[in-house]
Amino acid sequence: MTNPYAPPRAAVADIVDPNAQVALAERGTRLGASILDTIIFGAMVYAPFLVFGMLDASAASAPASDAPFGGMVAVGLTLSLVGLVVWFGFTISYLRRNGQSIGKKILGIKIVRTDGSPASLGRIFVLRNVVVTILNFIPLFAFVDVLFIFAESRQCLHDKLADTIVIVA
């Protein structure tokens, strides 16, 4: 016979098992993901502007009748802005879905809260990126930030500020 006064019992899917072990991402893998993110960002945002800027510069040095590339800087700038929008779209989509940047997704690691629960997009974007970008104006902050990776917890200073860790996905 069931007790009608007993509290309800239900399985809650969003509660993290406190006994579950998470594997922290290796330092080299995190570095690799950061390098990949930088290369992808540069290819999508800076490369079009540089390529079309160089085409425009070479066209400017040619005689006026032989210069078919007038206004290439504007084309490069437009493609750079399109690349920035596309990069933001992919990055925000991946971060919202599973706590991964493009580089982290490629290398199979992701950002979670220190208790193993998913990190919100706001926490990742604001605390890990915006606040740290502002703090980077302090001399040597970026250097100190990355040195924290050598602690046993493998958390950079931006991870500690956002209460996040990076784990194997």
Each residue's pLDDT tens digit, 36-59: 999 999 999 999 888 887 777 666
Q: What band does 22 get if pLDDT is binned at 50, 70 and 90?
A: confident
Q: Pick the closest to residue 99 from 107, 110, 113 (CA basis).
A: 110
* Sequence spans of domains, the chain: 27-168
How high is the pLDDT of residue 51?
85
Q: CA 28 to CA 23: how far, in whole Å?
A: 14
* Prediction pTM value: 0.75
Instruction: Please answer whether residues 56 and 73 qualify as being in contact, where contact means their C-beta atoms are separated by less than 8 angstroms.
Output: yes
- Angle between helix axes 47-61 and 72-98 (nearest 10 degrees) is 170
How high is the pLDDT of residue 113?
94
Q: What band does 65 get if pLDDT is binned at 50, 70 and 90?
A: very low
- DSSP sequence for 41-92: HIIIIIHHHHHHHHHHHHHHHS-GGG-TTTTHHHHHHHHHHHHHHHHHHHHH
In the predicted model, what is the mean pLDDT of residues 87-103?
Answer: 93
pLDDT over 60 at 67, yes or no: no
Nearby residues of 118 by Cβ (< 8 Å), 6 or more positions away: 98, 99, 112
In the predicted model, what is the mean pLDDT of residues 7-17?
Answer: 68
pLDDT over 60 at 66, yes or no: no
In the predicted model, what is the mean pLDDT of residues 133-161?
Answer: 92
Q: Which two tokens stand for residue 44?
A: 């999508």
How high is the pLDDT of residue 149?
92
In the predicted model, what is the mean pLDDT of residues 5-21?
Answer: 69
pLDDT over 90, % of the chain: 61
In the predicted model, what is the mean pLDDT of residues 126-132?
Answer: 90
In the predicted model, what is the mean pLDDT of residues 7-35?
Answer: 79
